Chains A and B, each alone.
Chain A
Amino acid sequence: MNCRCARPLLLECLEERLPAIAEVAVREHLAACPQCRAELELFRKTLLLAVGDTVPLMPVGANVFLGNVRRRIRAANAPPERGRIKTKLWPVLAAAVVLLAIGILFLSRGPQSQRSPDDLVITGERAAADIIDRAGTETDLVRQIDAQSISAIESELADNAELDDLIEELTPQQQEALVRELTRLYRAPAKPLNGG
């Protein structure tokens, strides 16, 4: 083993995460190479310093923490908090984002879809592009956007911090307007391919 092969493995070696065969090879190289030994030593010192960076105690006790989580969950479920709107919004949003993106990619570009937030469209385009890649015709496409697909997309969106941020930044009025708009789009009949 030469230095070029050994160096990327030094950290793994230091932390004893290398497979046995690789470790033997790295150790043999280290025994013969003072430069790599020096590099290993620097890694060791750096990590030793990093370990010294401690975390202060959590300012609240375990039960208070749990109580706060529970309170926030209750608050998120209580009307007319924004969380309730958001919870109601997800299924409609997930389905509408897909339809919206399909509209953009395949069908005529209506003035309503152009009013949607850009970030939302980009997210929708990505989700739709994956589906479109697998589907050849509109019929296949529609078949694939069944309840299961929407549920999967909804689950993905629920973890999407950026989209969440986007919605967080909307005022309650804007959120309601978005719900209305997406609901309208969701319920609108799909236009035929090449039809507009």
Chain B
Amino acid sequence: MKEDLELVRSFREGDEAGFDELVRRYQQRVYALLYRFVRNPEDATELAQDVFVRAYRALPGFQGKSSFYTWLYRIAVNVALSFLRRRRRRGATDAAEQLDQDAVMNLPSPDNPARDLEQVRLRETIARAVDALPARQRATFIMRQYQQLTNDEIAESLKCPVGTVKANYFFAVKNLQQKLLHSELAARVKGLV
């Protein structure tokens, strides 16, 4: 399998298939990253496509100083934050309303309604807690916890020092802890083995 930078190089030399391979390789990860921000599969898919269109246009200027995917993640985080700002300005469906929609979509199954309902509520609570984090903490938490990026990679993506990444992650988890502990699920958190 070709390395990312090889594909970038061949794309820049005119081989469009190189770009297609990069899209195939990263579409799921970019979608998952964006979903964590926008909490809507359709919006996340649209934005993921937007990320690759931007990447296509910007690739000729990509200097290869960082890895391709940290560069791509940087575009994705910018796209996500920009989308959230636009959504706030428009006053359109916010993340909390979206979560309510998700809850409707995830109605409990007839097999074990109590357990499923509990899982739905748990997901909602966690999602609300993550959504309520400040933007930088949220981006850092998502990239580290869900995308398994290293501190160095996150620092490259967010263009900030590694120390800032560590601090943001620490405070993100502390904030989440506070929010979860004060939520209706406090008892469940404390009871987890």
| Chain B proximity mask over A21-59: 1 for CB below 8 Å, otherwise 0 | 000000000000000000000110111111111111111
Assess whether A155 is in contact with B58, with CB atoms less than 8 Å apart. Answer: yes
CA distance A59 to B48 in the complex (A): 12
Assess whether A59 is in contact with B42, with CB atoms less than 8 Å apart. Answer: yes
Stretch at the interface among A95-103, A119-127, A157-165, A180-188: A157-165
Q: Does B135 contact A (CB under 8 A)?
A: no
Assess whether A69 is in contact with B23, with CB atoms less than 8 Å apart. Answer: yes
Q: Does B189 contact A (CB under 8 A)?
A: yes
Q: Does A68 contact B (CB under 8 A)?
A: yes
Assess whether B127 is in contact with A53, with CB atoms less than 8 Å apart. Answer: yes
Using known A-B contacts A12-B166, A50-B145, determine if residue A62 contacts B130 with beta carbons closer than 8 Å: no
CA distance A165 to B89 in the complex (A): 12
Q: State how many angstroms separate the Cβ of A125 from the closest Cβ of chain B.
A: 19
Pick the contact of A11 from B123, B126, B169 — CB < 8 Å?
Answer: B169
Q: Which residues of A contact B122 (CB under 8 A)?
A: 49, 52
Q: Which residues of A contact B177 (CB under 8 A)?
A: 42-43, 46
Q: State how many angstroms separate the Cβ of B40 from the closest Cβ of chain A.
A: 10
Q: Does A60 contact B (CB under 8 A)?
A: yes
Assess whether B75 is in contact with A159, with CB atoms less than 8 Å apart. Answer: yes
CA distance A162 to B141 in the complex (A): 22
- Of residues 87 through 144 on chain A, the ones whose CB sits less than 8 Å from some CB of chain B are 87
Main secondary structure of the interface of A (DSSP, over half): helix
Q: Does B134 contact A (CB under 8 A)?
A: no
Main secondary structure of the interface of B (DSSP, over half): helix
Q: Which residues of A contact B24 (CB under 8 A)?
A: 62, 66
Interface range for A: 35 or more
CA distance A87 to B28 in the complex (A): 27
Using known A-B contacts A53-B127, A60-B45, A69-B23, determine if residue A43 contacts B52 with beta carbons closer than 8 Å: no
Assess whether A59 is in contact with B41, with CB atoms less than 8 Å apart. Answer: yes
Using known A-B contacts A43-B173, A49-B122, A72-B53, determine if residue A62 contacts B27 with beta carbons closer than 8 Å: yes
Stretch at the interface among B2-10, B76-84, B109-117: B76-84
Using known A-B contacts A43-B173, A50-B176, A56-B35, determine if residue A164 contacts B23 with beta carbons closer than 8 Å: no
Q: State how many angstroms separate the Cβ of A74 from the closest Cβ of chain B.
A: 10
Q: Does B88 contact A (CB under 8 A)?
A: no
CA distance A17 to B50 in the complex (A): 34
Assess whether A161 is in contact with B82, with CB atoms less than 8 Å apart. Answer: yes
Assess whether A65 is in contact with B49, with CB atoms less than 8 Å apart. Answer: yes
Q: Which residues of A contact B127 (CB under 8 A)?
A: 53
CA distance A46 to B176 in the complex (A): 7
Q: State how many angstroms separate the Cβ of A16 from the closest Cβ of chain B.
A: 12
Q: Which residues of A contact B36 (CB under 8 A)?
A: 55
Q: State how many angstroms separate the Cβ of A130 from the closest Cβ of chain B.
A: 14
Assess whether B57 is in contact with A55, with CB atoms less than 8 Å apart. Answer: no
Q: Does A178 contact B (CB under 8 A)?
A: no
Assess whether B79 is in contact with A46, with CB atoms less than 8 Å apart. Answer: no
Closest-by-CB residue of A relative to B44 is A58
Q: Does A76 contact B (CB under 8 A)?
A: yes
Pick the contact of B61 from A49, A57, A151 — CB < 8 Å?
Answer: A151
Assess whether B49 is in contact with A164, with CB atoms less than 8 Å apart. Answer: no
Assess whether A52 is in contact with B41, with CB atoms less than 8 Å apart. Answer: no
Pick the contact of B173 from A46, A52, A55, A162 — CB < 8 Å?
Answer: A46
Chain A residues engaging chain B, CB cutoff 8 angstroms: 8, 11-12, 17, 42-43, 45-60, 62, 65-66, 68-70, 72-73, 76, 87, 151, 154-155, 158-162, 164-165
